[in-house]
Amino acid sequence: MRYFLLGILGLVACGESFSSDGAPGGATGTGGTATTVTSGSGASSASSSTNTTSTTGQTTVSSSSTGGGCMADLMNDPKNCGSCNHDCLGGDCHQGACRAFHLVNARSTALALDDDRIYMTSLFGSQVEVRLKANPKTPTLTYPSQGVNAIALDANNIYWANDHGISFGSKTGNIAGASCGFQADQKTRGVVIADQNAVFLLNDASNSGLYYCPKTGGSAMKLAAASVLENALIQTSNAFLWSQYWGNKLASLNKVAASGSTISAGGSQNGARGIAADGNNLYFAEATEGVVKKTPLDLAGAITPLATSEPYPYAVAVDGSVVYYSTIGSADVNAQTAAGAIKRVNKSGGSLATVATGQTRPLAIATDAVAIYWVNLGSDDPSDTAGGLWRLAK
């Protein structure tokens, strides 16, 4: 990954203005502003080569110790932003840093990525959409659903958690697969793909728990009990892990056991929301306390704060040495204000960096090799342009 900082910049989405005077740097309005940070602030660097630049008028000639180079305005060229061949992927380049770019206006609740496609919801979670990263404006596939709040993928299919359990569909054609779950109003909060099973969390007063069902559909089988309002589910090579918002805890179930007792992290994790993991640690948002934390994957070690005093942190994603997270800006997720933000902090802690501000209820974050994506639920205001899908080149 490459990150570039030429000062703390207020940045805006391509083609939209979010400050009162239309100049970069405004953090008001419904669209959003963004900043990026350099490797010196904790981001990883994609190359060990050194670069030198010389400027004549608007043209900057850049050369590197590896022999490469380009003739471009590194301060403003979106194809060579900050360094040669650093593509802003549709966003503007301002003073050598890429701006966040609003790709799709929609009321979105869930997000997933593969190499070529974006999988997201629209219409307040009532539709699952497939969009090409190279041309995301128009969906290539749509699947009607209800209350979708999580999406998982395997090589051929999409699996989404909805108000009835989980449903399946093909990645490449409008072919709805089998479903697995319960009656209406037993809301599903997460889904992962494990071996030949789709494993999911069910949020229901009488049946809450971790369940699995065959990918081909059928009856759901309970693996473990859980409290009402489980919020997010992930898996590692050895275990399923999930957050329990009302239960104020993190929970884990060993995959080998396949059933039985769960393990919980020590202490009360007040309002646990989004979670993510790498090979060593679990990273999570403790929304009620306004803290982003990490703890060992076995949930038996120390719990370390990475970011504190945050206005209701929600979604979490891990990328290399960095943890990205969203903030809602209010403990009331239904508050329809553009007070949210996307931020980042090193896994080891340290200073924070703001990636984007002016976001209205950012509920999910995902990353690939070259960019950060997130989706906003947005508001009911027809003039609100902050809902839907955003992208920022790394």
pLDDT surpassing 90 at residue 218: no
Residues 101, 91: contact at Cβ < 8 Å?
A: yes
Q: Which residues make beta-bridge pairs with 98?
A: 93
114-148 tens-digit pLDDT: 999 999 999 888 999 999 999 999 999 999 888 89
pLDDT at residue 17 in the model: 29
Q: What is the 3-state secondary structure (H, E, C) of 106-159?
A: CCCCCEEECCCEEEEEECCCCEEEEEECCECCCCCEEEECCCCCEEEECCCEEE
Rounded Cα distance, 119 and 277, in Å: 21
Per the model's pLDDT, the better-predicted residue between 165 and 56 turns out to be 165
Q: What is the pTM of this model?
A: 0.81
Q: What is the mean pLDDT of residues 57-77?
A: 70
Which residue has tokens 């902050």? Answer: 386
Residues 267, 299: contact at Cβ < 8 Å?
A: no
Q: What is the mean pLDDT of residues 157-166?
A: 85
pLDDT at residue 15 in the model: 33
pLDDT at residue 381 in the model: 77
297-348 tens-digit pLDDT: 988 889 999 999 999 999 999 999 999 999 999 887 777 888 999 999 999 9
Contacts of 26 (CB under 8 A, 6+ apart): 10, 12, 17, 18, 19, 20, 33
> Percent of the chain, pLDDT > 70?
74
Query: What are the C-alpha distances in Å from 104 to residues 118, 159, 276?
Result: 11, 22, 25
Per the model's pLDDT, the better-predicted residue between 393 and 173 turns out to be 393
pLDDT at residue 93 in the model: 96
pLDDT surpassing 60 at residue 2: no
pLDDT at residue 24 in the model: 29
Mean pLDDT of the chain: 78
Question: What is the token pair recorded at 311?
Answer: 């206005």
Domains and CATH numbers, the chain: 104-393 (2.130.10.10)
CA–chain centroid gap for 206, Å, is: 30
pLDDT at residue 373 in the model: 98
267-305 tens-digit pLDDT: 567 778 999 999 999 999 999 899 999 999 988 889 999
pLDDT at residue 10 in the model: 31
Residues 300, 280: contact at Cβ < 8 Å?
A: no
pLDDT at residue 361 in the model: 93
> Percent of the chain, pLDDT > 90?
44
pLDDT at residue 130 in the model: 96
Contacts of 259 (CB under 8 A, 6+ apart): 222, 223, 224
pLDDT surpassing 50 at residue 4: no
pLDDT surpassing 90 at residue 385: no
Q: How confident is the model at residue 228 (pLDDT cuts 50, 70, 90)?
A: low
pLDDT surpassing 70 at residue 23: no
Per the model's pLDDT, the better-predicted residue between 281 and 237 turns out to be 281
